[in-house]
Amino acid sequence: MKKLLLVTLYFLTINFGVWAQNFAITYDTKLAEDDFEYTGVLWVGNIESLFVWKDHPEKVWAKSRQEGSDITSQEVFTDIVGYQIQRVQASTLLKCRDFCRKEYPLYYEDDITFDWKITADKKMISDYNVTKAEVEFRGRTYEAWFSEEIPINAGPWKFFGLPGLILEVGSTDGAVSIRLSEIKKMNDTEFPSFLKEATTMTRLAYNECLDKTYELDYKKNRAIIAELQAKYPDLELTDGNRPNKRTKTELID
């Protein structure tokens, strides 16, 4: 019995010892608000995790693509630090750095408890055995694939709470898609810091700020189109069927 216990402890030590170091996990990330995928990196250390995405040296970062005569473009308010979500591994509290408008970073806290339902479905992702879990989160149903071969209670964006690293997660309606791109080890000097230099507000106030910014931008765009059409009646203009209300990842407050 003593020998069995010692062997078990030995393997547990090896298992957790392997992962008791820093990792950078890269994901292709598309939230409901996005027209494009953006690179997101989940930095995982012994104590905390930090998800960073949409970081860019320009204050307003525009991405675009053309398909035939149609052009899709998206402006992102950001900076070189980018959007960040930090969580201490044993906590349910997220510290979030986001943007509402140009040069206006915001900080809010979000306390989340996920009621995951682990299924019997399994598959492979990048040579890792993964299991599917499902959850209802703020108006959408999500399916996540996690690997117990990587015993880290972490995941991209706001997701966590499974007995293994979340390698892939998406909403069943297709609006949200986060897929693994790469996993690599890193040293302590590479781990970025969370930047709390921002306007502090509640998550509700943050969403209200986003709604107001979107509404002002929508009205401005419609006014420009109306002015051009009045001046050039034969000119065909479109806003790409842009909705008059902001598309949201989190449908419920």
Q: Would 55 be classed as within a structural domain?
A: yes
Does residue 116 sit within a domain? yes
Q: Where are the alpha helices (DSSP H) in 118-234?
A: 203-231
The confidence band for 63, taking pLDDT boundaries of 50, 70 and 90, is confident
221 within domain boundaries: no
Closest Cα partner for 149 from 169, 171, 124?
A: 124
3-state secondary structure at position 180: strand
Binned at pLDDT 50, 70 and 90, residue 188 comes out as low
Domain with 41, as residue range(s), is 21-201
Rg of the chain over all Cα atoms, to the nearest angstrom = 21
Region of 16 please: left (phi>0), alpha (psi -120 to 50) or beta: alpha
Q: Which of the four pLDDT bands, split at 50, 70 and 90, describes residue 111? A: very high
Higher pLDDT, 94 or 61: 94
Report yes or no on 93 lying in a domain: yes
Determine, yes or no, domain membership for 13.
no
How far is residue 203's CA from residue 34's CA, in Å, rounded to a whole number?
A: 19
Domains identified in the chain, total number: 1
* Residue that wins the pLDDT comparison between 46 and 187: 46
* 186 belongs to a structural domain: yes
Amino acid 39: pLDDT: 97
The contacts of residue 67 (CB under 8 Å, 6+ apart) are none
- How far is it, in rounded angstroms, from Cα 38 to Cα 53? 7
Residues 112 and 92 sit within 8 Å (Cβ to Cβ) = yes
Domain assignment present for residue 231? The answer is no
Whose CA is closest to 178, among 169, 190, 166, 191? 169
Residue 17 has pLDDT above 70, yes or no: no
Task: Give me the mean pLDDT over the 213-226 stretch.
Answer: 87
Q: Has residue 38 been placed in a domain?
A: yes
Residue with tokens 């969580």: 87
What pLDDT does residue 3 have? Answer: 43
When pLDDT is averaged across residues 205-212 and rounded to a whole number, the result is 95
**Would you tell me how many other CB atoms lie within 10 Å of the CB of residue 207?**
17
The conformational region for residue 127 under phi > 0 = left, psi -120 to 50 = alpha, else beta, is left
Percent of the chain whose predicted confidence (pLDDT) is above 90: 64
Q: For the domain that residue 57 is a member of, what is the CATH number? A: 2.50.20
**Nearest CA to 144 among 154, 88, 26, 112?**
154
pLDDT bin (cut points 50, 70, 90) of residue 18 is very low
- Under DSSP, the state recorded for 92 is -
Q: What is d(CA 169, CA 159) in angstroms, rounded to the nearest whole number?
A: 8
Rounded Cα distance between 40 and 180, Å, is 10
Residue 151, Cβ neighbours under 10 Å: how many?
14
Alpha carbon separation from 209 to 145, 201, 220 (Å, rounded)? 33, 10, 17
